Amino acid sequence: MQNQELPVIRTIKPINFLYFPTRTTLSELGGLVGHVQEKLYAEAVKEKLFISGPAYWNYFNFQDIQKPFDLEISLPIAKLPLRYSGKYQIKTSQLFRCLALQHEGSWEKFPEVYGFLMGYIHQQGLALTGESRELYSNIDFENPEANVTEIQIGIK
């Protein structure tokens, strides 16, 4: 694995999200890339919601690559609006304790990165929560080696 850094344990404070929830499978993820985030950004601008960070993909109970899992494609927003009647959902997340590692490069290397993280979790005797996140700091479809993604795996 190219990443020289070791993962770190972090506790992420609650985040306000505008998000699109879906139930999906690993093989269907490619069809969600790009267009859902684009629509979330448009909705945030239309509703005058201040986007406060990069796009998040929040995974819930993703344990088997063959089985469906829950996914929330999300944009962090500075505050929840008093009223919102748009086509997406809003919420404030819970405190999130995780093992985090920044990956620079192609998403095709994710299986290797996740394998490394899961091995580290096992080696350290950590327990999983069933939630994980990917934060997309930089997305470059033309030069995937320029992608910057932080992977966070929830731990107890």
On whether residue 138 sits in a domain, the answer given is: yes
Residues 35-48 have a mean pLDDT of 94
On whether residue 2 sits in a domain, the answer given is: no
On whether residue 119 sits in a domain, the answer given is: yes
Residues 6+ apart with CB under 8 A from 26: 62, 65, 66
Position 34, amino acid: G
Cα–Cα dist 146/9, whole Å: 25
Cα–Cα dist 109/149, whole Å: 11
15 in Cβ contact with 76 (< 8 Å): yes
On whether residue 91 sits in a domain, the answer given is: yes
Residue 66 has pLDDT above 90, yes or no: no
On whether residue 1 sits in a domain, the answer given is: no
| Global pTM value | 0.92
On whether residue 96 sits in a domain, the answer given is: yes
Place of tokens 């999130």: 96
Residue 1 has pLDDT above 80, yes or no: no
Count of domains for the chain = 1
Residue 139: give the domain boundaries: 8-155
Task: Name the pLDDT band for 3 (thresholds 50, 70, 90).
Answer: very low
- DSSP 8-state assignment for residue 32: T
On whether residue 76 sits in a domain, the answer given is: yes
42 in Cβ contact with 18 (< 8 Å): no
32 in Cβ contact with 24 (< 8 Å): yes
**CATH number of the domain enclosing 124:** 3.20.80.10
Q: What is the pLDDT of residue 4?
A: 58
40 in Cβ contact with 22 (< 8 Å): no
Provide the 3-class DSSP secondary structure of residue 117.
helix
92 in Cβ contact with 80 (< 8 Å): yes
On whether residue 3 sits in a domain, the answer given is: no
pLDDT over 90 percentage in the chain:
87
Beta strands in 45-155 (DSSP E): 55-60, 69-76, 89-92, 96-104, 128-138, 148-155
